[in-house]
């Protein structure tokens, strides 16, 4: 049965030209990189050296704390450089594209029969890293068992590519991926979608469909998790994008790590907005250059609400936003600048817009209050362990909060993680 439809939310004004309805064109950039996700610290052991040729999907880095976890090549090419900070912490591994390169094949013959083997090949292929565990938003540990898994077949962020565009032609792969997830845990799997007819295949046993609203933030996994299966420190909940589930299904069929994902490129610094199929870790400037307007600009990996300045496409991002950058100098008197710096932070006033920014599900005023005060107990009681930064981005947009709520939620999550000793 479908769950109730979320009706609260906000319509975020479009930034730049509308997305073209055309089918996404394939665009493999000349460079790509493996980088940590935002806030992630990866201590790795390189398996290749500078100048080596590698196949698409080949394991290139091993995570030192989890020896069965690998990071694989997003494309065939040559290793340009490996940047490691002290302590073997990964900064980036950059590749130059080789159009005639090979694809690395994994042996998946036993993955359909043995759960331990399924986990092993997902971790070796790098596809395990597409799972995200709440609380804290980390990649699940190799042997972790979730209380539930949420598969997101919807995304309400402005200009986000509709996951259905990728699933309509991949229903068999998607069903196989859902079946694989159902074998990882006995817990319930929730398939979240914005339309009753989104996915016409019959989900495996244990998969429940949830119908969501279309307005933002109803297409975010944080609200779905909070409403249906709140995360706890002792009961983690995972989420994963529907396209990644289809990628798992394809991988278990042929042993090849899928080479592309659908990404939208939008923003007011572009001549046009469009969708493309590009490799993970793609060079964002290479993606945007053909449609870029002249003038200064900022390139974000992510949406206009929660994106961050970046050179490479981040691990789970499916949007690139290019915004105009204001370079005009403001000649302000030093005394006015001093007053601004010395001014007290204004409190956030509870409004209807703030309630809508939390989807009408979370107690907005109370949650903002506990974030500002750093009240761990109150944050946990209100359901904050189900949230990540992206779930607070719309509230930041609606209130113009300083300091940003996204920053506050990450600070309190890091504090809880340290106190609980689960890092």
CA neighbor of 62 nearest in space, from 73, 70, 50, 54: 70
pLDDT for 13 equals: 87
User: Does residue 387 have a pLDDT over 50?
Assistant: yes
d(C-alpha 309, C-alpha 322), whole Å: 10
User: Does residue 336 have a pLDDT over 50?
Assistant: yes
User: Does residue 352 have a pLDDT over 90?
Assistant: no
pLDDT in tens, 101-160: 999 999 999 998 999 999 999 999 999 999 999 999 999 999 999 999 999 999 999 999
Binning pLDDT at 50, 70 and 90, where does residue 22 land?
Answer: confident
Looking at every residue in the chain, the average pLDDT score rounds to 91
pLDDT for 4 equals: 40
Higher-pLDDT residue of 46 and 402 is 46
Does residue 217 have a cis peptide bond before it, meaning omega lies within 30 degrees of 0?
yes
- Name residue, tokens 């359901």: 383
User: Does residue 199 have a pLDDT over 80?
Assistant: no
Cβ neighbours for 332, distance < 8 A, ≥ 6 positions apart: none
Overall average pLDDT of the 406-422 stretch: 92
pLDDT for 328 equals: 59
pLDDT for 1 equals: 32
Binning pLDDT at 50, 70 and 90, where does residue 341 land?
Answer: low
pLDDT in tens, 266-316: 999 999 999 999 999 999 999 999 999 999 999 999 999 999 999 999 999
The token pair that represents 375 in the structure block: 């009240």
- CB-based contact 75:97 (threshold 8 Å): yes
Instruction: Compute the C-alpha angle 192/195/196, nearest 5°.
Output: 90
Percent of the chain with pLDDT strictly greater than 70: 90
d(C-alpha 31, C-alpha 12), whole Å: 33
Torsion angle defined by CA atoms of residues 369, 373, 378 and 380, in that order, rounded to the nearest 10 degrees: 100
Domain boundaries, the chain: 25-254, 347-420
| Per-residue CA distances from 99 to 53, 163, 276, 336 (Å) | 12, 27, 18, 56
């Amino acid at each position: 049965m479908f769950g109730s439809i979320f009706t609260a939310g906000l319509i975020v004004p479009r930034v730049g030209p509308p997305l073209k309805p055309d089918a996404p064109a394939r665009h493999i950039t000349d460079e790509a990189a493996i980088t940590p996700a935002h806030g992630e610290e990866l201590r790795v052991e390189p398996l290749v050296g500078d100048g080596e040729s590698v196949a698409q999907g080949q394991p290139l880095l091993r995570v030192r704390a989890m020896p069965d976890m690998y990071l694989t090549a997003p494309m065939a090419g040559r290793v340009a450089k490996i940047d490691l900070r002290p302590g073997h912490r990964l900064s980036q591994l950059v590749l130059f594209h080789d159009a005639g390169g090979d694809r690395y094949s994994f042996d998946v013959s036993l993955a359909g029969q043995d759960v331990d083997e399924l986990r092993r090949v997902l971790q070796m292929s790098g596809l395990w890293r597409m799972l995200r565990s709440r609380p804290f938003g980390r990649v699940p540990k190799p042997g972790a068992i979730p209380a539930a898994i949420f598969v997101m077949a919807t995304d309400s962020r402005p200009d986000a590519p509709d996951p259905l565009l990728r699933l309509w032609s991949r229903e068999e792969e998607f069903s196989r991926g859902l079946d694989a997830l159902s074998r990882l845990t006995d817990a319930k799997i929730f398939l979240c979608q914005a339309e009753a007819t989104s996915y016409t295949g019959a989900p495996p046993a244990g998969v429940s469909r949830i119908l969501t609203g279309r307005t933002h933030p109803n297409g975010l996994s944080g609200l779905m998790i909070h409403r249906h299966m709140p995360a706890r420190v002792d009961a983690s909940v995972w989420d994963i994008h529907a396209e990644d589930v289809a990628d798992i299904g394809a991988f278990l069929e042929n042993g090849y790590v899928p080479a592309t994902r659908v990404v939208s490129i939008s923003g007011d610094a572009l001549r046009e907005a469009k969708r493309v199929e590009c490799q993970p870790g793609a060079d964002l400037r290479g993606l945007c250059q053909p449609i870029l307007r002249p003038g200064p600009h900022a390139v974000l990996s992510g949406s206009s609400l929660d994106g961050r300045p970046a050179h490479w496409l981040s691990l789970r991002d499916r949007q690139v936003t290019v915004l105009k950058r204001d370079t005009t100098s403001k000649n302000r008197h030093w005394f006015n600048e001093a007053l601004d710096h010395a001014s007290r932070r204004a409190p956030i006033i509870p409004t209807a817009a703030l309630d809508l920014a939390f989807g009408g599900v979370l107690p907005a005023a109370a949650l903002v209050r506990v974030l500002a005060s750093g009240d761990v107990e109150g944050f946990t009681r209100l359901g904050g362990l189900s949230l990540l930064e992206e779930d607070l981005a719309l509230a930041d947009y609606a209130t113009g909060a300083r300091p940003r709520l996204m920053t506050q939620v990450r600070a309190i999550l890091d504090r809880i993680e340290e106190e609980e000793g689960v890092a």
